[in-house]
Amino acid sequence: MKLAIVFGAESYEHEISIVSAIALKKVIFCELIYIFCDKNRDFYLVSSDKITSKRFSSGEYLSDVKLTLKQGGFYFKKLFKENRVEFDAIINIIHGADGEDGKIAALFDFFNIPYIGPGIEASVISYNKFFTKLYAKALGVKTLDYEVVNKNNKNISMPLPIIIKPLRLGSSIGVSVVKEESELEYALDVAFEFDDEVLIEPFVENVIEYNIAGCKIGGNIRYSIIEEPQKELFLDFNKKYLDFSRTNKVYEARVTEMLHGEIRKNFKLIYEPLFEGAIIRCDFFVIKNKVYLNEINPNPGSLANYLFEEFSALVQDLALSLPKRRKIPVTYKYISSIQSAKGKA
C-alpha cells in the first residue's frame, strides 16, 4: 500500500504538523509519500529520506518538486506532460487551520481524492469549541459549563478559577488558567492574540483526565487503550509539542469496568457517523464518577499512534474502509422536460 502524508499549511500549528509527519515514519510500515503545504499554500513532493524539520524551517523544500492539486490528485510537470503522484489514500496530518477547519477536506472531496481524516462537517464542528459543546449536548454527552466572549464583550460572569481558551485553536496555544482577578486581563489579551472569540470554562482542580482514540473499520469501531495522561495544571504548548512526536507506547489506565464502558460509550456517540474515515482522540474528564467531554482531537498529534497496539495495520485497514462517496447523477431531465414542453430540441 502507498499512503501520502499531507502536512504543514498556514496555521499556528504548522510546526506541530511537521513534527507529527516526521513521527509517522517510525510507526507506519508501508510506502509513504510526503506532500508539504507551505505557508503560501503551495504543495511540494518531498522525498521520505529528506524529511527533517530543518528542511522546512530553512526553506530547502523549495528545491523539491512543486505540485498542483486538481481532479483526481496531485500532479507535477515532467518535460512535456503531467504526471500524477500515485497513492492509495492521503493521511491528513495538518493540525489547526487549513487541516482541521474543513478547508483541506473540502478540496479532497471536491477533487475526488480518498483521505484519512475528518470530513468537512466533522472538521467545522470539532474545530470550534462552541460548536463542539452544542454537538455533545445534542448527543447527550456531558460537558463543563462555558461562556463565549469576544473582543467587544469581555464580560465574564463565571466565578474564578477559570480556564481561558481561544475558540478555534489546539495544542494549548493561548490557553491560561486564571485564579486571581489581577490575572484576567492579561490572560484574555493572550487568547485574543490568536482568535477574536474565546471560551471560558471553570477550572477544576485535580481533575482526572482520560484519553481514548479510535476509528471505524468494517462497520465496527476499533478502540485504542485508555490513557490517563500525567500533567500539571494542563498540558501547555511545550509539553504538547513533545507529545506530538510520541511513538512509544503508553500504559493503559487502571479504570473500573463500568468507567471503561462509559468512556467507550461516549466516544462512540461522538464518533458515529460524523467522524467516519478519521482516527480521532477524545479527551474526557471524570468528575464525581461522571464522564465529561473535554475536547475532540480530529487530527491528534502523530495520529495518537502510541495508544494503539498495531497502529500500522490499523491505518492501512482504515485506508481500505473509507466511506464511499455518494455519486449524484446529473441527467438534465428537468431542463430537457422544459425544452420539450416548449417544443424545442
Q: How far apart are alpha carbons 215 and 316 in whole angstroms?
A: 12
What pLDDT, in 10s, does the model give residues 290-345? 999 999 999 999 999 999 999 999 999 999 999 988 889 999 999 988 888 776 65
pLDDT band at 157 (very low <50, low <70, confident <90, very high): very high
What pLDDT, in 10s, does the model give residues 95-117? 999 999 999 999 999 999 999 99
Strand-pairing partners, residue 44, are: 36, 66
Q: How far apart are alpha carbons 321 and 242 in whole angstroms?
A: 31
Cα dihedral 295, 297, 302, 305 sign: positive
Q: How far apart are alpha carbons 133 and 142 in whole angstroms?
A: 9
Least confident range from 69-83, 244-258, 259-273: namely: 244-258
Q: How far apart are alpha carbons 62 and 66 in whole angstroms?
A: 8
Q: What angle do CA 276, 277, 278 make, to 5 degrees?
A: 95
End-to-end Cα spacing for the chain: 50
CA dist list (Å): 322 to 49, 67, 113, 282: 28, 25, 11, 20
Q: How far apart are alpha carbons 219 and 333 in whole angstroms?
A: 36
Domains of the chain: 2-118 (3.40.50.20), 125-143+205-319 (3.30.470.20), 147-202 (3.30.1490.20)
pLDDT at residue 244 greater than cutoff 70: no
The pLDDT value given to residue 325? 85
Largest CA distance in the chain: 78
Give the three cell numbers for residue 76.
507535477
Mean pLDDT for the chain?
Answer: 92
pLDDT at residue 79 greater than cutoff 90: no
Q: How far apart are alpha carbons 14 and 169 in whole angstroms?
A: 12
pLDDT at residue 242 greater than cutoff 80: no
Find all residues with CB under 8 Å of 319, minimum gap 6, and list them.
1, 3, 88, 89, 114, 116
The pLDDT value given to residue 241? 47
